[in-house]
Amino acid sequence: MLRQYELLEKIRAYDPDADEAMINRAYVFSMKAHGSQKRASGDPYYSHPIEVAGILTDLHLDDETIVTAILHDTIEDTVATPEEVERLFGPNVARLVDGVTKLSKIEAQSESQRAAENLRKFLLAMSGDIRVLLVKLADRLHNMRTLHFIGSEEKRRRIARETMDIYAPLAERIGMYEFMTEMQTLAFREVEPDAYASISKRLEQLHKGGGDDLIERIGRGLTAHLEASGIEAEVQGRQKHPFSIWRKMAERHVSFEQLSDVMAFRAVVDNVEDCYRTLGIIHQRWPMVPGRFKDFISTPKRNGYRSLHTTIIHDENMRIEIQIRTKGMHAQAEHGLAAHWAYKEGREAAEAEHPWINDLIEILEHAGSPEELLEHTRMAMYQDRIFAFTPKGELIQLPKGATPVDFAYAVHTDLGDQTVGAKVNGRVMPLRTPLDNGDQVEILVSKAQHPQPAWLSFVVTGKARAKIRRFVKSKEREETVALGKKIFDEIVERLPAPLGWEAIAEALKRLNLHDDEALMEAIALKRVDDVAVMEALMPGSALKKGVKPPPQRQAISIKGLTPGVAFQLATCCHPIPGDRIVGLRREGEGIEVHTIGCDQLADGIDADWVDLAWGDESDGGAARLCVVIKNEPGSLAVIAGILGSHGANIVGMEQVSRDGSFHTFNLDIEVHDLQHLMRILAALRATDVVSTAERL
Binding flag, residue 73, Mn ion (CB under 5 A): yes
Stretch that binds Mn ion, among 106-114, 132-140, 188-196, 248-256 (CB under 5 A): 132-140
Stretch that binds Mn ion, among 32-40, 65-73, 406-414, 639-647 (CB under 5 A): 65-73
The secondary structure element, H or E, covering residue 228 is helix 214-228
Stretch that binds Mn ion, among 133-141, 161-169, 266-274, 549-557 (CB under 5 A): 133-141
- Residues 6 or more apart whose CB falls under 8 angstroms from that of 78 comprise 33, 34, 35, 37
Is 436 among the catalytic positions? no
Q: How far apart are CA 391 and CA 422, in angstroms?
A: 12
CA angle 618, 623, 628 (to 5 degrees): 155
Per-residue 3-state assignment (H helix, E strand, C coil) for 678-694: HHHHHHHHHCCCEEEEE
CA dihedral 237, 243, 248, 250 (to 10 degrees): 160
Q: In what order do the strands lie in the sheet with 649-658?
A: 649-658, 662-671, 621-630, 690-695
In terms of Cα–Cα distance, which of 384, 8, 333, 330 is closest to 179? 333
Name the residue whose CB lies closest to Mn ion: 139
Mask: binding to Mn ion, 8-37, rule CB under 5 A, as x and -?
------------------------------
Question: Nearer Cβ to Mn ion, position 10 or 142?
Answer: 142
CB 101 to Mn ion: min, Å: 10
Strands 567-569 and 662-671: unpaired
* Phi (first) and psi of residue 38, to 5 degrees: -120, 150
Question: Nearer Cβ to Mn ion, position 4 or 146?
Answer: 146
- DSSP state letter for 576: -
CA angle 444, 371, 465 (to 5 degrees): 40
Question: Nearer Cβ to Mn ion, position 52 or 374?
Answer: 52
- How big, in percent rounded to 5, are the helix, strand and coil portions of the chain? 50, 15, 30
Stretch that binds Mn ion, among 131-139, 184-192, 476-484, 591-599 (CB under 5 A): 131-139
CB 201 to Mn ion: min, Å: 33
Stretch that binds Mn ion, among 17-25, 111-119, 135-143, 272-280 (CB under 5 A): 135-143
Which of 76, 295, 417, 673 is catalytic? The answer is 76
Question: Nearer Cβ to Mn ion, position 133 or 373?
Answer: 133
Q: Most distant CA pair in the chain: distance in Å?
A: 123
The 3-state DSSP class for residue 574 equals: coil
Question: Nearer Cβ to Mn ion, position 139 or 579?
Answer: 139
Mask: binding to Mn ion, 85-124, rule CB under 5 A, as x and -?
----------------------------------------
CB 143 to Mn ion: min, Å: 6
CB 350 to Mn ion: min, Å: 25
Is 77 among the catalytic positions? yes
CB 317 to Mn ion: min, Å: 47
**594, 618 in Cβ contact below 8 A?**
no
CB 123 to Mn ion: min, Å: 18
What is the footprint of Mn ion within residues 580-639 (CB under 5 A)?
A: none
Which of 77, 86, 479, 516 is catalytic? The answer is 77
Binding flag, residue 139, Mn ion (CB under 5 A): yes
Q: How far apart are CA 577 and CA 377, in angstroms?
A: 51
Question: Nearer Cβ to Mn ion, position 67 or 431?
Answer: 67
CB 49 to Mn ion: min, Å: 6
Question: Nearer Cβ to Mn ion, position 139 or 375?
Answer: 139
**605, 676 in Cβ contact below 8 A?**
no
Which residues of the shown chain bind Mn ion in the complex (CB under 5 A)?
73, 139
* Active centre residues (catalytic): 76-77
